[in-house]
């Protein structure tokens, strides 16, 4: 297959290349795509060199699949130009996620919504992916009434500029800033820009995308998203109120049997998920699973995942794998 990676020179694009190779995705020809200023550079993939091309050149090559990770503006302008030439586009930006005609997919949860003829698929937000993977089996078993989530998000979610800011600050170097404030030894209660309702776009993504993926607008979600000085993965403190009562051990067993989830929960031995544990891994880790005694039928848990992998690149590649497996490409 001819596979284009749009944004191949970026942080997530680089991880996409790594994941494609690790998972032995059937790439006959890799087409790395970036801006005009990067065109002509070479990158290495599976022991071979590939020349970076522009978006215009990539469309002319008519790839079978294009994995987009170049930002919303690029996706809005170019994604449908690729699909019109016969390419299946899996887009990692927020551009198409809430379009009712475009599937928003976490393969383990709702891969079935992709139908023959779909040529543009949206990859959810990183924080949403790790949360809904855990919520889905619990929603099917007990019916979720309400979710309250507070995120502790890695600087890698902002991009390489933010990673460099954190590194510079730790070394006492003055450099380019991705944030309005110092991030080292600090927490910034703002991920993305604020919307008129007082919530940030990141927080509203958790609300709207969760409902769309679970196909249930009755699930109430309240989110607070915080940027923390970590470069390993995203963490989430999640409180879930169910419509039915539950047994803690049954919840643990159910999550332990769910593909893509690792339950790491032994408080007596001080065992619980941490972002350092998730870095470089594709699984979603869950721990601190405990009943919320302040109200009926409620549960607290801690969810951690590598936001560049399962939260972005790996989920994108898994969508492509699912479509191949189902004969949709």
Give me the architecture of the 127-307 domain, per CATH: 2-Layer Sandwich (3.30)
Contact 120, 83 (CB under 8 A): yes
Please, are residues 289 and 138 in contact by the beta-carbon 8 Å criterion?
no
pLDDT at 232: 86
Q: What is the pLDDT of residue 133?
A: 98
Q: Which of 36-45, 83-92, 146-155, 300-309 has the lowest mean pLDDT?
A: 36-45
Structural domain 2-124+312-325, CATH architecture: 3-Layer(aba) Sandwich (3.40)
pLDDT tens per residue, range 196-228: 999 999 999 999 999 999 999 999 999 999 999
- What is the per-residue pLDDT for 220? 98
What does the CA dihedral 162, 49, 282, 6 come to, rounded to 10 degrees? 60
pLDDT band at 49 (very low <50, low <70, confident <90, very high): very high
| pLDDT value, residue 304 | 98
Helices 126-142 & 201-214 angle (0-180, nearest 10): 40
- pLDDT band at 269, cuts 50/70/90? very high
Instruction: Say whether pLDDT at 38 is over 90.
Output: no
Going by C-beta distance under 8 Å and a sequence separation of 6 or more, which residues neighbour residue 294?
none
In this predicted structure, the answer to whether residue 95 has a pLDDT above a threshold of 90 is yes
pLDDT over threshold 90, residue 12: yes
CA 163 – CA 160 distance, rounded (Å): 5
- Domain residue spans in the chain? 2-124+312-325, 127-307
Tell me the helix, strand and coil percentages in the chain, rounded to 5.
35, 25, 40
Alpha-carbon distance of 34 to 15, in angstroms, equals 15
CB-CB neighbours of 317 under 10 Å: 26
Task: With cut-offs at 50, 70 and 90, classify the pLDDT of residue 329.
Answer: confident
pLDDT at 157 exceeding the cut of 90: yes
Q: What is the mean pLDDT of the chain?
A: 96
First to last CA, the chain: 10
pLDDT confidence of residue 37:
87
> Is residue 234 flagged as an active site residue?
yes
* Choice among 139, 191, 234, 264 that is catalytic: 234
The whole-number pLDDT of residue 33 equals 95
Quick check: do 2-124+312-325 and 127-307 share a fold? no
The DSSP bridge partners found for residue 4 are: 31, 66
DSSP 143-211: -EEEEEEEEEE-GGGT-HHHHHHHHHHHTT-----SSSS--TT--BS-SSPBPTTS-BHHHHHHHHHHH
Q: Is the pTM of this model over 0.85?
A: yes
C-alpha–C-alpha distance, residues 193 and 92, integer Å: 18
How many angstroms separate the CA atoms of 121 and 272, rounded?
Answer: 34
The reply to whether 139 belongs to the active site is no
- pLDDT of residue 287 exceeding 90, the answer is yes
- The mean per-residue pLDDT over the stretch 246-257 comes to 97
- Euclidean distance between CA atoms 30 and 4, whole angstroms: 6
pLDDT band (50, 70, 90) for residue 25: very high
Residue labelled with tokens 């699984």: 283
Give the number of other Cβ atoms within 10 Å of residue 49's Cβ.
Answer: 9
Give me the catalytic one of 126, 139, 191, 264. 126
Phi, psi of 109 (to 5 degrees): -100, -50
Question: Mean per-residue pLDDT for 121-126?
Answer: 98
**Taking residues 153-174, what's their average pLDDT?**
95
pLDDT for 230 beyond 90: yes
- The Cα 235–Cα 230 span in angstroms is 10
């Amino acid at each position: 297959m001819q596979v284009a990676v749009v944004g191949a020179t970026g942080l997530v694009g680089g991880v996409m290349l790594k994941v494609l190779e690790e998972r032995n995705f059937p790439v006959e020809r890799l087409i790395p795509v970036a801006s005009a200023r990067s065109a002509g550079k070479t990158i290495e993939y599976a022991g071979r060199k590939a020349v970076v091309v522009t978006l215009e050149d990539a469309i002319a090559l008519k790839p079978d699949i294009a994995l987009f990770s170049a930002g919303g503006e690029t996706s809005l302008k170019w994604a449908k130009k690729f699909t019109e030439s016969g390419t299946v586009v899996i887009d990692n930006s927020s551009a198409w996620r809430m379009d009712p005609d475009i599937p928003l997919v976490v393969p383990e949860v709702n891969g079935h919504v992709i139908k023959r003829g779909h040529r543009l698929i949206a990859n959810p937000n990183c924080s949403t992916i790790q949360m809904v993977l855990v919520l889905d089996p619990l929603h099917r078993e007990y019916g979720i009434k309400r979710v309250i989530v507070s995120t502790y998000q890695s600087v890698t979610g902002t991009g390489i500029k933010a990673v460099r800011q954190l590194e510079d600050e730790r070394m006492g170097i003055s450099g380019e800033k991705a944030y309005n404030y110092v991030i080292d030894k600090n927490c910034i209660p703002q991920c993305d820009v604020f919307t008129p309702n007082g919530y940030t776009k990141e927080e509203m993504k958790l609300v709207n995308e969760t409902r769309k993926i679970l196909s249930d607008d009755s699930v109430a979600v309240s989110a607070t998203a915080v940027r923390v000085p970590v470069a390993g993965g995203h963490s989430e403190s999640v409180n879930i109120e169910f419509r039915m009562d539950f047994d803690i051990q049954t919840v643990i067993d159910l999550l332990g049997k769910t593909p893509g989830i690792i339950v790491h929960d032994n408080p007596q031995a001080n065992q619980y998920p941490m972002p350092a544990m998730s870095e470089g891994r594709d699984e979603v880790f869950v721990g601190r699973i405990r009943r919320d005694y302040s109200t009926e039928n409620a549960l607290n848990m801690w969810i951690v995942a590598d936001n560049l992998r399962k939260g972005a690149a790996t989920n994108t590649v898994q969508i492509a794998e699912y479509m191949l497996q189902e004969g949709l490409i």
